[in-house]
Structure 1
């Protein structure tokens, strides 16, 4: 019987088991600060990573205030798309337009009710007055979003804005004369 010949191991498979030895950089370009070469042996080069200094309380308050303004202006950023979708859905009573109106009322109302929860992570004792201004701006933005929903239901004819919508509460007129038909 003949013996089966074992094919030689490809070079790439051998390199997987035994990676090549690290070669130092030929161009002598140093690593950027904070990004040491991960392949360099730790004994040949010691990299010092620059430590970031802790921010001061004033810097933290400024950063928290900026983030709070981003949250406060968030509701207004989605209004153009919501307005276009409401315009394109038409004014007839269909499931899509009803769902759009429902969401146009639900989201701002829930946002107004959750105002304190939205800003509690940004509030500190030193920036309480500034956060109050941000909260007021947030509520105003939510009211603008709510006004978009009111515009849509007015366009759909669901707001009672005409005299004929209030006929149930109108007193019936008493006629001055009565006409009787002849036989």
Structure 2
């Protein structure tokens, strides 16, 4: 009969390391835990997970919610202004001749602000409450101003292309 040798485990070493992790090394006392991490809260089968949970956060007050909504509304209102530098660069780089690329750029320069102006109320209806209606009106005015500024970039482009009389 032939001698049968024990067959080595065919799985790679990393699989064995995952199934049998090395023992936990204790950290030196001179190194503090990073913020938000506690070495006592290391999850394990015998540790309680409920003891390491922070207390639940209390819901924000209506005044705080209005402030947060107003802050997000300002972000929405100023978004068209953040797109203006890129639009200006694209308009400049497309040239002044009548080509399909420059015509498409001019079309987009008019389409986006007009669509933004038509959907002004829909853009801000999720932020508007009875208590912040006056502040949202100011934000809407800033949004309309930014859209008109974006339209002015389109008018500048068609003027530079020689399409305005």
Q: Distance in 2 between matches of 1:12 and 1:20?
A: 12
Find 1:75's aligned residue among 80, 95, 98.
80
Q: Distance in 2 between matches of 1:87 and 1:43?
A: 63
Q: Distance in 1 between matches of 2:124 and 2:59?
A: 23
Compare relative contact order (CA 8 Å, sep 6+) and give the higher one, 1 or 2. 2
Q: For residues 13 and 82 of structure 1, do their structure 2 counterparts lie closer, same or farther at Cα, with a shift above 3 Å needed?
A: closer
Q: Distance in 2 between matches of 1:70 and 1:121?
A: 13
Gap runs ≥5 in structure 1: 161-183
Confirm or deny that 1:17 pairs with 2:19.
Answer: yes
Gap runs ≥5 in structure 2: none
Q: Distance in 1 between matches of 2:86 and 2:48?
A: 58
Q: How far off its partner does 1:12 sit? A: 4.7
Q: Distance in 2 between matches of 1:45 and 1:123?
A: 39
Deviation readout 1:32-65 (Å, 9 max, x if unpaired): 5577423463249932423222111111101110
Deviation readout 1:118-146 (Å, 9 max, x if unpaired): 11111111001100110011011000000
TM-score normalised by length of structure 2: 0.82
Task: Give the superposed CA RMSD.
Answer: 2.6
Q: Flag the structure with higher helix content.
A: 2
Q: Is the 8 A contact 2:66 2:132 kept in 1?
A: yes
